Chain A
Amino acid sequence: MTGATTTAATPTEAARPARAAADPMRPLAREWSRFTPRQRLARWLVWLGVVAAVAWAVRSIDIIPEFLADAPAQMADLLVRMWPPDLAHYYPAVHTALVETLHIATLGTILAFGLAVPVALLAARNVCRIGPLNWLAQLVLVASRSVNSLVWALIFVAVFGPGAAAGVFAIAFRSIGFVGKLLAEALEEASPGPVEALRAAGAGWGATMLKAVWPQVQPAFWGIALFRWDINVRESAVLGLVGAGGIGVVLNDAIDFFQWDRVATVLLAILAVVLVAEVLVNRIRARLI
């Protein structure tokens, strides 16, 4: 190795132009920097934008300093009122509501899949080759996702009246966008080779979907189903706040009557169910793949 190549390869040498100017090896010292000046300016502007946005946001939410200072004391007070949890309240009131919550999540997920599968087929550009239909299906999926499940619940409470039916539909309509988008992506990622092979063998559309596409999207399908059910268990726990059934109703009642020990019981029950759902879903998913 010669001295010349060592100089050229050492970035610290290139980073010190003043010393390099006197260096006879100067022509060999190539400069390298991570960003161009334009990129550096752009990065600096992005950071400036972030800081400005945070500053603006903090000013606009109007924090009252007294309340902020008071918060730890208030939290402590709340926790003291919650302790010990009123575990006697669990059965039957909380238990029944909890089971209803699980039913809402499960039925909502199944209904969502029934509605999302056709939309996903229309949205996947390799399955449906009609541009406007792809576009329409994407619009349906985005619309479904743009409305929060609590808002869907409010709408369906107005339609079906208060109760679990409204919850099931709220969960389903919220899930269509999520499930449909992921399913459409899985469909678009399916390898075209087997599809081509089956078409070449004279298989019709249905047989091609069944034997070439479905085996490819099957793992994604069950993965999405479990993941969405997991999310829906958590989402259906709050639907009761607007009267759409489930454990949220019990929670809302307890808060309205300042029965904080009961609130604690409900929160613990939700935590337990979510944990169990999480473990269950992870176990099944590990086996699926």
Chain B
Amino acid sequence: MAAPPGAGGRPPLEIRGLVKEYVPGTPVLRGIDLEIGAEGITAVIGPSGTGKSTLLRCINRLVEPTRGEIRLRGEELTRLSGKALRLARRRIGMVFQEYNLVERLSVMENLLCGRLGYVPLWRAWLRRYPAEDIARAFALLDAVGLPDYATRRADALSGGQRQRVGIARALMQRPELLLADEPTSSLDPKTAVEVLELLARLTGEAGVPVVLNIHNVELARRFARRIVGMSQGAIVFDGPPEALETAHLRAIYGGEDWL
């Protein structure tokens, strides 16, 4: 897997003063400054409703930011629209908590959905995907451990298998950045670890930096190179997993009975 283009120079992702208000006057994100480096997993932790998901969705504009700048390798994303926005989105892969596969399509077609930003509509309609896309899909199916599942329908898969397909679909885009929004929250503990191992290995091999929203602090410590702690729409901790101490967790989640 090739390194993303233009790897030198600008950092993959720069966020400056990002504010999001769903209701005017009550910001969910209160001026986020964040820079994501060229590789590894950055885990974002924090209590529910603190804006982790909103932060991720602002990056690929599934949610419209209210103010601030988001730069993908120097390109400002917040003002893009139409075709330019689609071209930017296809450089950013996303993995979802509820997998968001198209249930009635086969695993292969779900993977090829990752190429919809690249292939013209008529090819998608007639299922005439380029041979290299299909070859890559097969390679990714092998890589995520589902070599014989190409023709299975997505609704016949287990949760862990679905998330593997979700990861493969995101990597089909050959993304420069991967956003993972609670990818393991719907999975059992063992499967969650397996899926995160897979995510870490494949994105490591491809040199794709990952922003990972995650509830589970232990998993965040185990897989991330860097942990960003959020509380009430602001970043209150940013550092390596070793530096994350009880005092920080208290600041992030509040209270201490749970610790």
A196 interface residue (CB < 8 Å to B): yes
The answer for the CA separation of A211 and B93 in the assembled complex, in Å, is: 17
* Residues of chain B contacted by A198 (CB below 8 angstroms): 102, 113, 116
- Quick one: closest B residue to A209, CB to CB? B121
The answer for the CA separation of A22 and B152 in the assembled complex, in Å, is: 71
| A211 and B104 contact, CB distance less than 8 A | no
Residue from B62, B91, B118 within 8 A of A196 (CB atoms) = B62
Interface size class of A (residues with CB under 8 A): 20 to 34
The answer for the CA separation of A196 and B166 in the assembled complex, in Å, is: 13
Q: Residues 74-112 of chain B: 1 if any A CB is under 8 Å from the residue's CB, otherwise 0? A: 000000000000111111111010111111110001000
* Residues of chain A contacted by B118 (CB below 8 angstroms): 202
Residue from B87, B96, B104 within 8 A of A197 (CB atoms) = B96
| B90 and A201 contact, CB distance less than 8 A | yes
* Residues of chain A contacted by B169 (CB below 8 angstroms): 197, 201
* Residues of chain B contacted by A132 (CB below 8 angstroms): none
A206 interface residue (CB < 8 Å to B): yes
| A200 and B94 contact, CB distance less than 8 A | yes
Extra contacts, 9 of them, besides A194-B101, A211-B116, A211-B124 (Cβ < 8 A), are A193-B98, A197-B94, A197-B166, A198-B113, A203-B117, A207-B124, A208-B116, A210-B121, A212-B102
The answer for the CA separation of A207 and B115 in the assembled complex, in Å, is: 10
7 A-B pairs, CB-CB below 8 angstroms? A196-B96, A202-B86, A204-B116, A210-B121, A211-B102, A212-B102, A216-B103
* Residues of chain A contacted by B100 (CB below 8 angstroms): 193-194, 196-197
Residue from B60, B94, B103, B121 within 8 A of A207 (CB atoms) = B121
Interface of A (DSSP majority class): helix
| B102 and A201 contact, CB distance less than 8 A | no
* Residues of chain A contacted by B258 (CB below 8 angstroms): none
Shortest C-beta distance, B5 to chain A (Å), equals: 16
Complex interface residues of chain A between 203 and 244 (CB less than 8 A to chain B): 203-204, 206-208, 210-212, 215-216, 218-219
Interface size class of B (residues with CB under 8 A): 20 to 34
A199 interface residue (CB < 8 Å to B): yes
* Residues of chain A contacted by B104 (CB below 8 angstroms): 215-216, 218-219
The answer for the CA separation of A211 and B89 in the assembled complex, in Å, is: 17
The answer for the CA separation of A206 and B119 in the assembled complex, in Å, is: 12
| A200 and B116 contact, CB distance less than 8 A | no
The answer for the CA separation of A210 and B60 in the assembled complex, in Å, is: 21
Q: With A193-B98, A210-B125, A216-B104 as known contacts, state yes or no: A202 contacts B89, CB within 8 Å.
A: yes
Shortest C-beta distance, A206 to chain B (Å), equals: 5
B54 interface residue (CB < 8 Å to A): no
Shortest C-beta distance, A54 to chain B (Å), equals: 48
The answer for the CA separation of A203 and B114 in the assembled complex, in Å, is: 8
* Residues of chain B contacted by A218 (CB below 8 angstroms): 104
Shortest C-beta distance, A136 to chain B (Å), equals: 25
Q: With A200-B89, A201-B117 as known contacts, state yes or no: A215 contacts B173, CB within 8 Å.
A: no
* Residues of chain A contacted by B101 (CB below 8 angstroms): 194, 197
The answer for the CA separation of A97 and B156 in the assembled complex, in Å, is: 48
* Residues of chain B contacted by A219 (CB below 8 angstroms): 104
| A203 and B116 contact, CB distance less than 8 A | yes
The answer for the CA separation of A196 and B121 in the assembled complex, in Å, is: 18
* Residues of chain B contacted by A196 (CB below 8 angstroms): 62, 96, 100
